[in-house]
Amino acid sequence: MQGDVREHLAALTEAGAHARPVRRPTELDDVDAIVIPGGESTTMSHLLTVFELFDPLRDRLAAGMPAYGSCAGMIMLASTILDTRPDARHLDALDITVRRNAFGRQVESFETDLRFDGITDGHEEPSMRAVFIRAPWVESIAPDVEVLARVPDGPAKDRIVAVRQGRVLATSFHPEVTGDRRVHRFFVDMVRAATG
């Protein structure tokens, strides 16, 4: 609907997936998993409703379809959203509370290196570059949500910025813009494990 769709398609293709955009309920029926990109979460929820995708997507997620959300995608997948508009809808696929624009306005966007459990541990590259653009952070998680990455330093030190709950993965940063395909490969491996 909106956001870094092209960038995610390219990253998923490089990670070995057959990726395509989804804009209609019939297209949703033909995919095994979905990526919800960054963008503006209230606009995304509105467009999902207008294009009659919100309810089918929410149903597929509830039935166990694997999903990955980056930035606004994390917000869309969350069960509770702080600092959003009252008419904004979300998909309830992750039992987390997120705060929209937690790191500040556009001019406060930043990059940092961080550790990502399951990706950077035991690899040649001990960290990955993370790009935060008006990003959310995770305020709280349910017991079965796994924390995969936290901000390593600065005023937001230890804030949660990557999580996984079962078949759903989310990052508050944008790996699709860095050229590092490890998060997308991690997600593709999750999908393969879930779908056989």
Distance CA 156, CA 186 (A): 25
Active site residue 71: yes
Distance CA 120, CA 148 (A): 10
Q: Which of 8, 46, 90, 174 is catalytic?
A: 174
Give phi and psi for 138, each to the nearest 5.
-90, 120
Q: Are strands 137-141 and 94-99 parallel, antiparallel or unpaired?
A: antiparallel
Active site residue 174: yes
Asked whether the beta carbons of 38 and 70 are under 8 A apart, the reply is yes
Q: Which of 7, 46, 90, 176 is catalytic?
A: 176
Paired with 35 in beta bridges are: 68
Q: Which of 8, 71, 90, 184 is catalytic?
A: 71
Q: How many CB atoms lie within 10 A of CB 122?
A: 7
The residues carrying an active-site annotation are 71, 174, 176
